[in-house]
Amino acid sequence: MRTNNFPGGCIIKKVILLACCSILIFSVIANAAGGVKKKRPLPHDYGKVVLNNYSERAHMAPVVFDHWLHRSKFTCRLCHVDLAFAMKTGTTGIKASDNMKGYYCGTCHNGKMTHGSRTVFAACSKTPGDDFGRCERCHSQGKTVKKDYDFYTYTEKFPKERFGNGINWEKAEADGMIRLVDFLEGVSIKRTAMTVQKDFSLGPNVKGMREIIFSHQKHTVWNGCEVCHPEIFVGVKKGATKYSMVEIFEGKYCGVCHTDVAFPLTDCQRCHTKQVQ
Ligand code: HEC
Ligand code: HEC
Ligand code: HEC
Ligand code: HEC
Ligand code: HEC
Ligand code: HEC
């Protein structure tokens, strides 16, 4: 005869049930927050940004910007602090004239900068002239344009993960498979390195939900301090910023990056790692 006389069984079941419920509830919230939720993007499309504030009006195809290629070469901080790109699609309002003056994409895409052994092709000019092929490398939405970098060949040897680009970017950097440029001569300002805070755990405030270990060290590699402080987190004292998973799903706090570019929120266990005692 089977009797359930294992004393902890019931509690364990409740915890599992609670965790499952939270996942269910949160996927519903996640869907609601995203409106009509888009299909999960393919690995090479994750982090793709399409810019069309001015292009189609000027009879050019919208611009496609891929995070996967650029983040394999530069830090988030370099672009989002030194170069002043906003962290929300379309809000920077980049214009052809900005690029031609050497701002935004034109900081690097000026036909002069070298990266590795290659010269970075130039961005916009007043008229395409006979160089329309160059324009189409960026103004490529809806066109079949041959790329110099194929996602799958380029990332073949990178350590893998389940979601997002399907790549463990943190490990790829830590293992030295990619080397990130964080400083551009004449653009970035020399800063003195700040002491990096110790890793700490964040309690999810729900029984049975695993704790989160937040690593300052690992985040600073990509973001310096300024991407997060003071705009996303005030950062004066742990616990000073109050937020919930719902807000994270709405794209705030951790969700600013972990929605479209850093590994996505579907990967619950990558943040909720530590078994609650
Ligand atoms: C080479 C420059 C560059 C690098 C490096 C870069 N970004 Fe971006 N990022 C951009 C541009 C350009 C946009 C679009 C800005 C706009 O449309 O106004 C953008 C947009 C974003 C957005 C908004 C996306 C959306 O769907 O609205 C997020 C989030 C973001 N970046 C995070 C990151 C993170 C995290 C990293 C580092 C892992 C990173 N970026 C590295 C240039 C860069
Ligand atoms: C911090 C420097 C930097 C900035 C800013 C930057 N790029 Fe790039 N981009 C690069 C480098 C380096 C490459 C690789 C060039 C090469 O190896 O030929 C590249 C390559 C590209 C490619 C070619 C991809 C391929 O496979 O052929 C496109 C398209 C592109 N960038 C678009 C953009 C757009 C659009 C912006 C602005 C929204 C932008 N980039 C901003 C550095 C930058
Ligand atoms: C490195 C990427 C890149 C390349 C290469 C590039 N552009 Fe652009 N261009 C942009 C970005 C980014 C925008 C702003 C996109 C938007 O929001 O519509 C833009 C916008 C434009 C616009 C819209 C009008 C305006 O004032 O902003 C025109 C016209 C334009 N580009 C012309 C060209 C021509 C002509 C070429 C080829 C000689 C070219 N671009 C090559 C990135 C590029
Ligand atoms: C990816 C985002 C991110 C980056 C990058 C980052 N921090 Fe933080 N920081 C946080 C978060 C999250 C907290 C906790 C905030 C809270 O609970 O209110 C925090 C808290 C802090 C605190 C308060 C610590 C305590 O124990 O009370 C300090 C000081 C701090 N950060 C300094 C820095 C410095 C210096 C850098 C760069 C070397 C940096 N941070 C980079 C996200 C970040
Ligand atoms: C400014 C952008 C940004 C913000 C805000 C941010 N992250 Fe990240 N995070 C990253 C990037 C970039 C990586 C590198 C891995 C990747 O891109 O997938 C990363 C990696 C991680 C990792 C894996 C590395 C490790 O520590 O083991 C964890 C876990 C993580 N983030 C948790 C968090 C949590 C929790 C928060 C909020 C308290 C947060 N992140 C806020 C950008 C961000
Ligand atoms: C990028 C990191 C990250 C990912 C991925 C993530 N969480 Fe969280 N989660 C957090 C943080 C940080 C908190 C703590 C907020 C606080 O301070 O209370 C949290 C809190 C929670 C809580 C506690 C209640 C609340 O609203 O704060 C639940 C339940 C939860 N998460 C469920 C999930 C589920 C389910 C998933 C996967 C679908 C998930 N989380 C993915 C970072 C993450």
The domain that holds 110 is classified in CATH as: 3.90.10.10
Distance CA 161, CA 246 (A): 24
Pocket of ligand 3 (CB under 6 A): 51-55, 58, 60, 63, 94-97, 99, 105, 109, 123-125, 128, 131, 134-135, 137-139
**Is ligand 2 within 6 A of the CB of residue 135?**
no
Question: What is the Cα gyration radius of the chain?
Answer: 22
**Is ligand 1 within 6 A of the CB of residue 34?**
no
- pTM to 2 decimals? 0.93
| Distance, CA of 224 to chain centre | 14
Structural domain contains residue 80: yes
- pLDDT tens, residue order, the chain (277 aa): 343 444 444 444 444 444 544 555 555 445 544 444 567 899 999 999 999 999 999 999 999 999 999 999 999 999 999 999 999 999 999 999 999 999 999 999 999 999 999 999 999 999 888 889 999 999 999 999 999 999 999 999 999 999 999 999 999 999 999 999 999 999 998 888 888 888 888 877 777 788 898 999 999 999 999 999 999 999 888 888 889 999 999 999 999 999 999 999 999 999 998 765 4
Q: Ligand 2 centre and the CA of 266: distance in Å? A: 28
Cα three-residue angle 130-65-223, rounded to 5 degrees: 135
Q: How many domains does the chain have?
A: 2
Nearest to residue 263, comparing CAs of 250, 252, 254?
254
Instruction: Kindly state whether residues 107 and 199 are assigned to the same domain.
Output: no
Domain that holds residue 262: 192-277
Structural domain contains residue 58: yes
76 burial type by CB count under 10 A (0-12 exposed, 13-18 middle, 19+ buried): buried
Instruction: Kindly state whether residues 196 and 251 are assigned to the same domain.
Output: yes
235 burial type by CB count under 10 A (0-12 exposed, 13-18 middle, 19+ buried): middle
Structural domain contains residue 141: yes
Find out whether 86 and 92 touch, Cβ atoms under 8 Å: yes
Cα three-residue angle 251-261-104, rounded to 5 degrees: 100
Domain boundary at 106, 138, 154, which?
Answer: 154
Q: Ligand 5 centre and the CA of 260: distance in Å? A: 12
Residues in the chain: 277
Dihedral sign for Cα atoms in the order 231, 233, 234, 235: negative
